[in-house]
Amino acid sequence: MNGNSGYKILAVDDSPVNLGIINSVLSKEDYIVFTAENGPKAREIAEREVPDLILLDIMMPEEDGFEVITQLKTNPKTSGISVIFITGVSEIDAKVKGFALGAVDYILKPFHPKEVLARVQIHLKLSAATNSLIKAQAQKLKQVKKAQKELLILPKSLPEANFGVSFNSLHEAGGDFYDVLPISKNIFGYCVADFSGHDLSTSYLTASMKALLKQNCTHLFQPQESIKMINEVLVEILPEGKYLTSVYARLNRRSRQLTIISAGHPPALFIPFNGEPQFIKLEGDILGMFKDAVFGCKTMQVNSKDRIFLYSDGLIEKSNSVWTKGLDALMHFSKETTKHHISQAPEIIKELMFKDNKGPEDDVVIVGIEV
């Protein structure tokens, strides 16, 4: 809506008399009125001025009202404008077709000026209420997104874990999640997970996942045991059709022993300080679907300055390429970041991975760990 500047109304009719009546009635009430005698001019004005409401005649030469509204609704700039048809046609088929195309109401000819004014006022009220509701919902989702980010630990909050992260959420309720846990003085857990879907419930599930990691990834349990217990809880609490993939790495910085658990997730990337990079490819079931799920596991010795990268599939999946191509690029760019501090490496990798296109098509999280 247009606040103190007044609401904008576009009247479209091939009859100058009808346009004159509408203009006179609405102008007296301080509405800003634009008029058009044909469809192309109406669409031009609608795109330029983006009125709050359009009064549209159905029966016009060359381009009738049905054609006009069809084109308005396919234009992102005008698709949200409410349209009231003005017509002398009273047949039910015409009305049904108009509503199907997106009209919100009809005014039958010959119309009374007071009826025009009344219908304009009621639909502006409805539009204002709808816009207010949309803004309120958008604000709540922004708060959800902010709350999600506040759950995520930053490298400066846990410098002993010696990690870096790049987190990019395309949706208000992102599906990607990561966490870093201080299990003991020298042992740390690193997790990346990807929930199916990006609806509002996902934001609450990420909070649940964080709590489950904290409760079960402790000094008393082996990594396999921790993930198994987390899965059993998720099977009970996840809504039908919800699941997640995950990779969990537990690093003992004193003994330099690394264990990686995969739950249907893209392979972790291991870049030794002296040696050839490799993907740690592990088979494993997804989390939250089966109580008797089996997860891939690998334990290995690592050395000082070795690096491990955990990431979500949004980093390597692109609509115009295959997974393996994304993995090749990830390995190449990750090797290039060895001269940078680990806290900077994930963000540099993300920028390099998407430098030749419009950016990520999905949520992306990258966690880099240096031994």
**Does 320 score more than 60 pLDDT?**
no
Distances (CA, A) of 278 to 271, 302, 321, 328, 331: 7, 13, 21, 11, 8
* Of 274, 175, 142, 289, the residue nearest 230 (C-alpha): 289
Q: Is 155 left (phi over 0), alpha (psi -120 to 50) or beta?
A: alpha
Whether 50 and 8 have beta carbons less than 8 Å apart is answered as yes
Segment 185-197 mean pLDDT: 90
Considering 95-104, 186-195, 204-213, the range whose residues carry the highest mean pLDDT is: 186-195
How would you classify the pairing of strands 257-263 and 53-57? unpaired
Confidence of residue 357 (pLDDT cuts 50, 70, 90): low
DSSP state letters, 164-196: EEEEE--SSS-SEEEEEEE-SSSEEEEEEEEES
- Write down the pTM of the prediction: 0.61
At 264 the pLDDT is 94
Q: Of the given ranges (13-27, 227-241, 249-263), which has the lowest mean pLDDT?
A: 227-241
Least confident piece of the model among 122-126, 179-183, 320-324, 348-352:
320-324
- The residue written with tokens 């009808």 in the block is 18
Give the pLDDT confidence score for residue 308 in this predicted structure: 98
Start-to-end CA distance of the chain, whole Å, equals: 56
Q: Are 161 and 155 in contact (CB under 8 A)?
A: yes
Tokens of 217: 């990834």
Query: Residue with structure tokens 């922004």?
Result: 142
Among 13, 172, 2, 184, CA closest to 84: 13
How far is residue 367's CA from residue 179's CA, in Å, rounded to a whole number?
9
Non-local (6+) Cβ contacts of 178 within 8 A are 152, 165, 167, 190, 191, 192, 193, 310, 365, 367
CA distance 116 to 103: 15
* DSSP H/E element including 142: helix 113-151
**Could you tell me the pLDDT band of residue 176, with boundaries at 50, 70 and 90?**
confident
**Helices H / strands E in the chain, number of each:** 9, 15
Mean pLDDT of 87-108: 84
Cα 279 versus chain centre, distance:
29
pLDDT of residue 242: 83
Q: Is residue 273 scored above 80 in pLDDT?
A: yes
Mean confidence (pLDDT) of the chain: 86
The separation between CA 307 and the C-alpha centre of its own chain, rounded to angstroms, equals 30
Helix (H) or strand (E) holding 301: strand 296-301
DSSP for 69-80? Answer: HHHHHHSTTTTT
Nearest Cα to Cα of residue 55 among 80, 84, 26: 84
- Look up residue 292 and give its two tokens: 């008797």
Question: What pairs with residue 300 in β-bridges?
Answer: 258
Lowest mean pLDDT among 172-186, 231-245, 246-260: 172-186
Residue 10 phi/psi, 5-degree rounding, is -110, 120
Set out the domains of the chain in order of their start, with CATH numbers.
Answer: 3-142 (3.40.50.2300), 152-370 (3.60.40.10)
φ and ψ at 105, to 5 degrees?
-170, 170
Q: What is the pLDDT of residue 198?
A: 56
Listed residue (242, 253, 210, 197) closest to 371, CA to CA: 253
